[in-house]
Amino acid sequence: MKVLIADNDTDLIDLLDYSLRRGGYSVVAAIDGEQALRQWQSQAPDLVLLDVIMPKLNGLEVCRRIRQESNTPIIMLTARDEEEDILRGFRLGADDYVTKPFSAKQLTARMEAVLRRDHENRYQRPVSQVVAGDLVLNLESHETIKAGRAVQLTTLEFRILYLLAMNEGRVLPHSRLVEYAWGYEGGGSNLLKTHICHIRQKLGLDDGQPGGIRAVAGVGYRLLRA
């Protein structure tokens, strides 16, 4: 398992390199954003540890560029426990974040969790029917049943709801929902919000109610069981 560490703190890179190699990981390193992109392109790591503040290109911009081409798992490293930095990272497609200072054990646990989710998502077979509470979605017929009643959804509305139902209870970032429904260049968070509103109206899945689609400010949405 190969990990790219991108951080301008060479002492931290050395410490992480030692710890991760002892844990069985292969490690490549970068000390600025441009080098991080080059290493990512040439080395194809399984996971990226990405510092927010780096010279040439900051970590948020590197994250954005990686997400234009790949779903490589990304964990942001930040010395500032500021909510806006964290939310910006999630909006750009980061999978998790760790605030400095952190222990090697803490970081490894977060890495394992992210890699496990990525493995499950990558190899999970699409299922023809998803059941979430009183909601039933059939992928082959694009039929939606809510409490025994058929509901007409557009193709995009169905795709958004299907992904939420497949990940019931989990927060899905805006970027992942947009990618699944439209592709990276086909939609945006404002358009996603409009479609979520239409789904709520058609199915009565109001924010904050049992069985509703809950908005997580600045991050994404999750479907709650009724």
- Give the range among 142-146, 149-153, 172-176, 181-185 with minimum mean pLDDT: 181-185
List domains and CATH numbers for the chain: 2-123 (3.40.50.2300), 129-223 (1.10.10.10)
The 10s digit of each residue's pLDDT in 65-122 is: 888 777 788 999 987 666 677 778 888 888 888 888 888 888 898 888 888 877 666 5
Per-residue pLDDT at 37: 93
Q: Could you report the per-residue pLDDT of 15-65, keeping only the tens digit for each?
A: 999 999 998 899 999 999 999 999 998 888 889 999 998 999 999 999 988
The sign of the dihedral angle between the CA atoms of 51, 54, 59, 65 is negative
What are the angstrom distances between the C-alpha of 122 and each of 115, 125, 140, 184?
10, 8, 20, 18
Tell me the C-alpha distance between 115 and 94, whole Å. 13
Q: Given this model, what pLDDT does residue 18 score? A: 92
Asked if the peptide bond before residue 101 counts as cis, ω within 30 degrees of 0, the response is yes
